[in-house]
Chains A and B, each alone.
Chain A
Amino acid sequence: MADITAPAYRTIPIIPALKPGAMEGKGPYIANEKHQEALGFPGQVPDDWHDKAIAKMGELLSKFRSLRVYMDACVHCGACSDKCHYFIGTQDPKNMPVARQDLMRSVYRRYFTFAGKYFPWLVGARDLTREVLDEWYNYYHQCSECRRCSVFCPYGIDTAEITMAAREILASVGLGQKYSNEIIAKVHKIGNNLGLPEPALVDTLEGLEEDVKEETGLDIKFPVDVKGAEVLLITPSADFFAEPHIDGLIGYAKVFHATGTSWTLSSMASEGANFGMFIGNYEQLRKVALRIREAALELGVKRIIVGECGHAWRVAYSFWNTLSGVGDGADETDRFAQMLQKQLDHRYKQPTHICEFTWDLIQRDALKFDKSKNDKHIITMHDSCNVARGSRMGDLPGGQFEIPRNIIKAVANNFVEMDPNTTHERTFCCGGGGGLLTDDLMDLRVKGALPRMEVLQQAVDEHGVNYMAAICAICKTQFSKIMPVYGFDRRMVGGVHQLVSNAIILGDK
C-alpha cells in the first residue's frame, strides 16, 4: 500500500484524454495447477491451447444469445466509451467498454465471420496469438462486470457478458485467476469464501452474542443449523467478522430479535457470494448455488433471506430460481424445482432481500427507532452496481433504489444524494467488484475508485457527508481499504443495517 498514492481529483463531469498502454501488464496472479484442477480446468496451458480456445468460443456462442448478438451488434458509436470507472480512473483506452469488447470481437471476426476471414484489415480482425491471449487476461481482469456500459448502449450490449465469456475461455486453456478460483474451491470444500469451518463459525457467532449482550443487555441470538427455523439467512461470509460488515449482521439479528422471527444460518451454506459468476462459468455458478438449495431442504426453512451483498443479490434474485429452484412459478412437472418450491412460503418473495424484509416491517409499524442515534451521521447512498443494474427489490422497477433509501430515512435524520449521474442505475462500481478484490490488483482498485471518490468529495464539500451507505460486502471491503488512500476515514463506509442497528429500540414486547 505504501507505494500507492491517490490520483488527483478533476472537475466533474470528466471525459478523460487517452493514455494508451497505461494499464498494460500481466494482470492478477494466475491460478496454480491445484486450484485450476479443483474446478475441473486444466492446470497448465496445453500445447493446443489455440484450437481449444477457439472451440470454447464457438461453444459459448452457441449457448449464450447475449454473446452471439453482442459480438455482431456493436457499431462503434462510442456511447459507452466514457462510462467505465476503470477507463475514467486509468485513462487506458483498452478500458473503454467498446475497446474491451473488441479485444474479443477482433478474434470473433477473424474466425467466425466472412469479412474477418477474408478482409481482416478492413474490420479490425486478428489472429488469436499468445500475445492476444495474455492481453485478454490482463484487460478482462480490469472489468468488474458492473454493467454501467450496458445502461448506455443503444443495443444493450453488456460488457460483463463478454468479460465472463473471456474469463471462461481463459480458464479452459489453463489461465484461470488465482483469487477467484481459490475462493470457489474453498466454498466447495468448506462452505464459505473464507474457509471458516463449522466449529470456528459457531465460535465466532457465540463471541458475537456475548459482545452484543454486553452492548444491549439482551440475549440476541445468532443461530446456526437450526432445523425447522422459519428463515434461512444467506449472507456474505465477510459479515461474520470483517469491519464494518459485522455491524450489519448485528443489525439483521436485531431486526429478527425485535420481531421474534425464528431464523438460522447454515454452516454448509455459510456464504452468500457466488464467485462462479465472476469467472463466467455456468457449472460453477450452479454448483455454488446448489449448496443453498441443499441447506434449505435439509433445514426445512420456509423463507430464504439474503444479506447485504451486491453480486450475491444479483445471483440470488436473478439466477437462483434458474439454477437451484429458489423462487416461484416452476412448472407442475418440474420435479427438481417443485421439491423446494412446495416447501417455501409463497406469501413472501423467494428469495427476499434483508432490506425488503426490514422495510416491510417498518411499513407495518413492527419496528421502533430512535432516529437521533444516527444524528452524528450525514448519510449518502452508494448504490452497489449489481444490486442497481442486475436485480430488483419490492414490486416496482427501481425498488432496489427506493427501499434502502426508505430504510435509511426511517432510521436517520440526515440523508443527502450524490451527483445523480453517479447514483441509481448510473452508479459507479466501487472498483473492487467482479473478482478484482485482491491485493495484487491494488493499483487498479485505487484508480477504479477514483470516479466515486471524486463525487463523494463533492458531497462532502457541499453537505458535510460523513457516512456512505452501501449494501455490498465487496463495496464495504474495497472502500474501507482504499478510502484512506484518498484521505477519508475508513469508517466512513458502512451498511444500511448498521444504521438500523444504531437506531432500533429493543425491549420486551
Chain B
Amino acid sequence: MSVIFAILFYLATLVFVVGLLSRISLYARTPAPLKIPTTPAPTTKTGVVFRLTREVVFFESLFKANLWTWAMGWLFHASMALVVLRHLRYFTDPVWGWVAFIQPFGIYAGITMLLGLCGLWVRRLFVERIRYISTPSDHLWLVLLIVIAISGLLMQFVSHTDVIAVKSYFLGLLNFNIGTLPADGLLMLHLFLVFALLALFPLSKLLHAPGVFFSPTRNQTDNPREQRHLSAWGSKMESEN
C-alpha cells in the first residue's frame, strides 16, 4: 500500500506540474491581437498589478456581482490557502517558523473551508439559475473537496492518525525513499482524493487559477492611443499589402 501511494504521489505531482506548465505556456504563447481591457482600466503597468492583486486576493469583481457567492467563495479559497500552507509542516524538517505560526489558524480554517464549500453547494443545488448552468462535474468537484475537508477534519478532531509516521513517509518520498504509510482508512481516502485533485487540475475548470492572470480584460494596460499594440499575425497583414 505504501508503494501504491508513493506511485500515485509521484504520478499526480508529475501530471500536475507538467500539465499546468504546458497549459500556462499555451496561454502565454497565444497572442492577444487587440486591446480589450474592461474599462475603466488602469493606465499603467503598476495599476494592472494592483487590479490583478485585488482580483486574486479579494475577488473584487465577484464582490460586485453577488455578495453571497463572494462570501462563500472567498471563505473557501482563503481558508484553503491557509490549510494548504499549514500542510507544509509535513514536508519540511525542521518546520519553518511561519508555518508553525499559522498552524492553529490552519486547523480552524479547515472548518471554515468546509462551511464555504457547503454554502457554495447549497447555492448550486437550490438557486434556480445556478442549478441550470451546473454540470455533473461542477457538483463532483464540490463533493471531492468536501470529502477531503471532512476526512482531514476527522483525523484532526476525531480519529487521530499517526502524523509523525505520515510526516516521515512524505519526507522519505521527497528523497525518493519509500517508507511505511500508516494503514489508516481515513488517511488513505484523504490522500487519494488530494492526488486525484492534483492530477485533474490541469484538465479541468480548476484552470481558472492560472487563467485569471492571462485574462486580457484584466491584465491589459489601458493605453491603446499612446502605444501601438500589434500581434505577430496582425503585423503580417501589413507587410502583405
Contact = CB atoms under 8 A, between A and B. Distances in A.
Interface of A: 15, 17-18, 61-66, 68-70, 72-83, 93, 96, 98-99, 102, 113-115, 121-124, 147, 150-158, 161, 282-283, 286, 317-319, 321-323, 325, 327-331, 334, 336-337, 349-351, 388-392, 395-398, 400-401, 425
B203 A69 contact: no
* Residue from the set A66, A69, A323, A397 with the largest chain B CB neighbour count within 10 Å: A69
B36 A66 contact: yes
B4 interface: no
Nearest to B224: A318
Most chain-B CB neighbours within 10 Å: which of A75, A123, A156?
A156
B204 interface: yes
B133 A282 contact: no
Contact of A17 (B128, B212, B231): B128
B138 to A, nearest CB: 5
Interface stretch (B59-67, B87-95, B101-109): B59-67
Interface residues of B, number: 63
Contact of A74 (B55, B69, B136, B208): B208
B41 interface: yes
B53 interface: no
B30, B33, B225, B226 — which one has the most chain A CB atoms within 10 A of its CB? B225
Given A115-B137, A286-B237, A397-B39, 11 more contacts: A78-B123, A78-B127, A79-B65, A81-B130, A102-B133, A114-B203, A122-B137, A151-B61, A318-B35, A322-B230, A390-B36
Nearest to A397: B40
Contact of A389 (B39, B129, B216, B218): B39
Contacts of B64: 151-152
Contact of A18 (B42, B59, B128, B228): B128
B218 A156 contact: yes
Contacts of B156: none
Given A18-B129, A65-B214, A122-B140, A388 B39 contact: yes
Contact of B43 (A63, A155, A351, A397): A397
Contacts, number: 225
18 contacts: A17-B128, A64-B32, A66-B217, A72-B211, A74-B205, A75-B208, A76-B135, A82-B129, A122-B135, A153-B61, A156-B38, A157-B215, A318-B35, A322-B34, A328-B225, A392-B40, A397-B39, A397-B222
Given A76-B130, A391-B39, A83 B228 contact: no
Nearest to A349: B225
B212 A156 contact: yes
A72 B207 contact: yes
A329 B41 contact: no
A73 B32 contact: no
A82 B128 CA distance: 11
B227 interface: yes
B66 A115 contact: no
Interface string B76-95: 00000000000000000000
Contact of B59 (A69, A154, A319, A334): A154
Interface of B: 23, 26-27, 30-36, 38-43, 55, 59, 61-62, 64-66, 69, 73, 123, 127-130, 132-138, 140, 203-205, 207-208, 211-212, 214-218, 222, 224-231, 233-234, 237-238
Nearest to A282: B33
Contacts of B136: 121-124
Contact of B31 (A65, A323, A396): A65
A7 to B, nearest CB: 19
Contacts of B129: 15, 18, 78, 81-82, 93, 96
Contact of B228 (A74, A329, A391): A329
B135 A398 contact: no
B131 to A, nearest CB: 9
A300 B36 CA distance: 30
A76 B36 contact: no
A409 B237 CA distance: 45
B96 to A, nearest CB: 31
A69 B133 contact: no
A158 B215 CA distance: 9
A98 B225 CA distance: 32
Contacts of B31: 63-65
Given A81-B129, A152-B62, A321-B225, A158 B36 contact: yes
B130 A337 contact: no
Given A80-B65, A154-B212, A397 B36 contact: no
A78 B33 contact: no
Contacts of B226: 327-329
Contacts of B233: 63
A19 B233 CA distance: 43
